[in-house]
A = this chain, B = another copy of it.
């Protein structure tokens, strides 16, 4: 499927693997790029020297282009951007912060920049800041999330109206039928997170990956809305956080309840009760742990099937 992203990302499929803390290291990113999508190394859980190591290993594993995700609130974000320049990473997906912060620096060095947005207003700011495109990520997405709770179904057309640059849809997308839906909404491509976390190459703990497969349709919830909203599997920690919110806990109380290192504890160390298990609502549609290449090929072929099904519907019209 050839969209405007084709010329920017130079990938056969307009499918980006979302950068996810603790889940997307060099193995996942290189496997996705090798299969024809765009893999992203998620730098948000790495120290700078670890990112260098992951980028070099990914380069050794594939000749295809891959990118890096940089959360701008992360204390090392500027150092991460410098590493991307030094290592000649062709594309950066930034998130969680102002698109003005790193876009000029990265663009000056010939790096393509996409920024993740949860409102059309932020998408317009991104366009003004000179990004190459935006990722419109809805409320159903896993992990950190916007405050306005716009879902993918409404956010993508709103962002499509707000900007002229390419729009990548994200949030809730784990199947090719959903990819076809995103393209119908006006997206130029999709970013897929949760589905790629639950793969052989995902760097999360095996117990976490199994928890993603086991999660049912109603097993995630957005919580910690007074601090940084995050979508989690409803384990013991998540239920405590929801209960604290329900009784009106202050941001300070919630920050104390969260503590530090809980995302690592859940997703990387596999503590399924006390860790943060960040994943999207689409975990309820994920039922196996294939290779990342198989996931990519499956999404692409399911998308083709969905489009063929739509074609036959219109041909039957009375």
In angstroms, Cα B281 to Cα A121, docked, is 15
Whether A316 and B2, one on each chain, are in contact in the complex, defined by CB atoms closer than 8 angstroms, is yes
Whether A1 and B217, one on each chain, are in contact in the complex, defined by CB atoms closer than 8 angstroms, is no
Whether B247 and A183, one on each chain, are in contact in the complex, defined by CB atoms closer than 8 angstroms, is no
Whether B148 and A140, one on each chain, are in contact in the complex, defined by CB atoms closer than 8 angstroms, is no
In angstroms, Cα B281 to Cα A149, docked, is 9
Cβ–Cβ < 8 Å partners of A181 in chain B: 153, 181-182, 184-185
In angstroms, Cα B149 to Cα A79, docked, is 38
Chain A stretch 173-201: residues in CB contact (< 8 A) with chain B: 173, 175, 177-178, 180-186
Stretch of A85-93, A106-114, A206-214, A302-310 lying at the B interface: A302-310
Copy number of this protein in the oligomer?
Answer: 2
Cβ–Cβ < 8 Å partners of A38 in chain B: none
A52 within 8 A of partner (CB): no
A260 within 8 A of partner (CB): no
Nearest B residue to A2 by beta-carbon distance? Answer: B316
Whether B177 and A154, one on each chain, are in contact in the complex, defined by CB atoms closer than 8 angstroms, is no
Known A-B contacts A153-B171, A177-B186, A313-B2; the reply to A12 vs B281 at CB < 8 A is no
- Among B280, B282, B285, B310, the residue within 8 A (CB) of A180 is B310
Cβ–Cβ < 8 Å partners of A175 in chain B: 157
Stretch of A58-66, A125-133, A218-226 lying at the B interface: A218-226
A255 within 8 A of partner (CB): no
Nearest B residue to A282 by beta-carbon distance? Answer: B154
Chain A residues bordering chain B, tally (CB within 8 A) = 59
Whether B150 and A152, one on each chain, are in contact in the complex, defined by CB atoms closer than 8 angstroms, is no
A3 within 8 A of partner (CB): yes
A120 within 8 A of partner (CB): yes
In angstroms, Cα B173 to Cα A181, docked, is 12
A248 within 8 A of partner (CB): yes
Chain A stretch 155-173: residues in CB contact (< 8 A) with chain B: 155, 157-158, 161, 171-173
Chain A stretch 237-257: residues in CB contact (< 8 A) with chain B: 246-249
Nearest B residue to A173 by beta-carbon distance? Answer: B153
Minimal beta-carbon separation of A245 from chain B (angstroms): 8
- Among B12, B154, B247, the residue within 8 A (CB) of A140 is B154
Chain A stretch 259-300: residues in CB contact (< 8 A) with chain B: 280-282, 284-285
In angstroms, Cα B260 to Cα A67, docked, is 55
- Among B1, B6, B284, the residue within 8 A (CB) of A314 is B1
In angstroms, Cα B153 to Cα A139, docked, is 10
Minimal beta-carbon separation of A236 from chain B (angstroms): 19
Nearest B residue to A222 by beta-carbon distance? Answer: B149
15 contacts between A and B (CB under 8 A): A1-B314, A1-B317, A2-B313, A148-B218, A150-B281, A151-B153, A153-B172, A157-B175, A158-B285, A177-B184, A177-B186, A180-B310, A181-B184, A181-B185, A226-B246
Besides A150-B217, A177-B184, A183-B184, 4 other CB < 8 A contacts? A139-B151, A150-B284, A153-B181, A154-B281
